[in-house]
């Protein structure tokens, strides 16, 4: 397969696998135990834990959890067994406990040191899968430096700067792009090995590859002409962004479900009006804010509100997409759909796939976001008079 075609298919392959993984069993937010704070500690003394959603600077879980765990923070340490799915995003992440289903994790430095019963999707600056981390399913990894020492019973797909594989793999191994690629003495690949790099792999005499080895060479001076580096960065950032958007969308639905539903209904009932208002606001609000900088506090406040609204519109776009898809799906069976956690999971994945379409996908995503901004502004405008009618305390 030509190198250009290989790289062209990488994002699609990763997105398809991500859809399979996320749709296999979504996270039930309705019964979730949400905990936030500077330090979120789940000690061994805590029992009967189910569906934990944790957000904080430091997160430490040492007690077993009977179902799913979603965690986002600066430093995350998980030593308690998780019986079902685990999703985590943060700076430094260490998982040294068994996980009963799929693990999806993105962070600066990520270490997996426990057995995983299903797939592992991982992205980070530094990624370590230790010899204690038996992967029963597939491994998808993207990072600056990747070291895999734990056995993988499925297949492996990786992209990164420096990659070292030193474990047994039952399936095929595909390395989309690597600065350096090393097979250690414990590497035993039962399937084929396909890799792309600027130089041939470093292969220890003790390593074994039973299938064919396919090497795609990339000249250093031609790297700008090849989309390999862009594909590597896109995949790593895409996985991280998708994880974060799913977590934050679910959290937003958990806390402001009623307000979100009001905005979604406005988007559905008045899409053109909302689009027009959203477009005008995005174009002219920065100019107005610059003028208001003459009155420094008011100008800074308007800039802050502008960027805050842009950030919120991302999640409105994601949730609206999930809400729209679930409406269509349920209507096929003549059922009604209102709004729940499914929209927070399906929406970001839907936008992720839409953005894979050049130009048209980005345009559709931007239009949905503008409609969301307009609908939110209309609702805020309608809400302000209600605040004025609230009697003040004497």
Of residues 119, 128, 351, 95, the one with CA closest to residue 244: 351
Confidence label for 146 from pLDDT (cuts 50, 70 and 90)? very high
Give the helix/strand (H/E) hosting 317: helix 296-332
Would you kindly state where each structural domain of the chain is located, as residue ranges? Answer: 3-229, 256-385
What pLDDT was estimated at residue 51?
84
pLDDT in tens, 195-228: 988 889 999 999 999 999 999 887 664 444 444 4
Tell me the helices (H) and strands (E) count for the chain, helix number first: 7, 15
Pick 269 or 228 by higher pLDDT.
Answer: 269
Which value, in Å, is the radius of gyration of the alpha carbons in the chain?
23
Q: What is the DSSP letter of 381?
A: H
Backbone angles phi, psi at 175, to 5 degrees: -115, 110
Give the helix/strand (H/E) hosting 339: none
What pLDDT was estimated at residue 155?
94
Mean pLDDT, residues 238-250 taken together: 76
Q: Determine which of 16-20, 235-239, 266-270, 276-280 has the lowest per-residue pLDDT on average.
A: 16-20
Cα angle 297, 248, 361 (rounded to 5 degrees) comes to 95
What pLDDT was estimated at residue 208?
93
0.85 surpassed by pTM: no
The CA dihedral of 181, 98, 347, 283, to the nearest 10 degrees, is -60
Report the SS3 class of residue 266.
Answer: helix
- Say how far apart CA 87 and CA 98 lie, in whole Å: 14
- b/e sequence 322-344, b meaning 16+ C-beta within 10 Å: bbbbbbeeeeeeeeebebbbbbb
What pLDDT was estimated at residue 345?
83
Backbone angles phi, psi at 97, to 5 degrees: -125, 160
Backbone angles phi, psi at 302, to 5 degrees: -70, -35
Of residues 88, 98, 101, the one with CA closest to residue 55: 88
Q: Are the C-beta atoms of residues 18 and 242 closer than 8 Å to each other?
A: yes
Of residues 179, 187, 190, 264, the one with CA closest to residue 220: 179
What pLDDT was estimated at residue 380?
83
- Say how far apart CA 374 and CA 363 lie, in whole Å: 17
Give the helix/strand (H/E) hosting 205: none
Mean pLDDT, residues 42-52 taken together: 87
Confidence label for 26 from pLDDT (cuts 50, 70 and 90)? very low
What pLDDT was estimated at residue 193?
94
Helices (H), 217-270: 228-255, 257-269
Check whether 241 has a pLDDT greater than 60: yes
pLDDT in tens, 339-370: 888 888 888 888 887 877 778 888 888 899 89
Rounded to the nearest angstrom, the gap between the alpha carbon of residue 220 and the centroid of all alpha carbons in its chain is 31
Rounded to the nearest angstrom, the gap between the alpha carbon of residue 324 and the centroid of all alpha carbons in its chain is 20
pLDDT in tens, 76-111: 999 999 999 998 877 789 999 999 999 988 777 899
Residue 47 burial by CB count (10 A; 0-12/13-18/19+): exposed, middle or buried?
Answer: exposed
């Amino acid at each position: 397969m030509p190198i250009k075609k290989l790289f062209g298919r990488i994002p699609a392959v990763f997105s398809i696998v991500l859809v399979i993984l996320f749709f296999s069993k979504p996270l039930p937010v309705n019964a979730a135990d949400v905990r936030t704070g500077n330090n979120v500690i789940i000690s061994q003394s805590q029992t009967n834990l189910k569906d934990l959603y944790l957000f904080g600077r430091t997160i430490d879980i040492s007690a077993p959890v009977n179902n799913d765990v979603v965690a986002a923070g600066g430093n995350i340490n998980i030593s308690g067994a998780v019986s079902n799915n685990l999703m985590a995003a943060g700076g430094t992440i260490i998982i040294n406990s068994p996980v009963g289903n799929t693990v999806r994790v993105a962070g600066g430095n990520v270490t997996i040191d426990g057995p995983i019963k299903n797939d592992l999707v991982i992205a980070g600056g530094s990624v370590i899968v230790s010899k204690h981390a038996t992967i029963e399913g597939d491994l998808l990894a993207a990072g600056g430096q990747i070291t895999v020492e734990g056995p993988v019973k499925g297949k492996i797909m990786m992209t990164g700067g420096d990659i070292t594989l030193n474990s047994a793999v039952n399936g095929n191994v595909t390395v989309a792009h690597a600065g350096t690629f090393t097979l250690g003495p414990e590497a035993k690949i039962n399937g084929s090995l396909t890799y792309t790099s600027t130089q041939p792999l470093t292969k220890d005499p003790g390593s074994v590859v039973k299938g064919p080895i396919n090497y795609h060479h990339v000249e250093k001076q031609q790297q700008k002409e090849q989309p390999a580096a862009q594909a590597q960065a896109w995949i790593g950032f895409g996985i991280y962004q998708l994880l974060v958007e799913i977590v934050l969308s679910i959290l937003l639905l958990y806390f402001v479900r009623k307000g979100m539903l009001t905005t979604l209904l406005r988007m559905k009932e008045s899409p053109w009006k909302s689009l027009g208002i959203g477009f005008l606001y995005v174009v002219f609000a920065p100019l107005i804010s610059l003028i208001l900088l003459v009155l420094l506090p008011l100008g800074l406040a308007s800039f802050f509100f502008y960027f805050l609204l842009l950030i919120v519109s991302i999640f409105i776009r994601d949730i609206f997409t999930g809400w729209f898809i679930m409406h269509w799906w349920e209507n096929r069976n003549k059922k009604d759909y209102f709004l729940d956690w499914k929209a927070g999971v399906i929406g970001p994945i839907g936008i992720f796939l839409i953005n894979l379409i050049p130009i048209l996908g980005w345009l559709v995503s931007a239009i949905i976001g503008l409609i969301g901004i307009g609908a939110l502004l209309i609702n805020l405008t309608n809400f302000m008079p209600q605040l004025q009618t609230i009697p003040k305390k004497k």
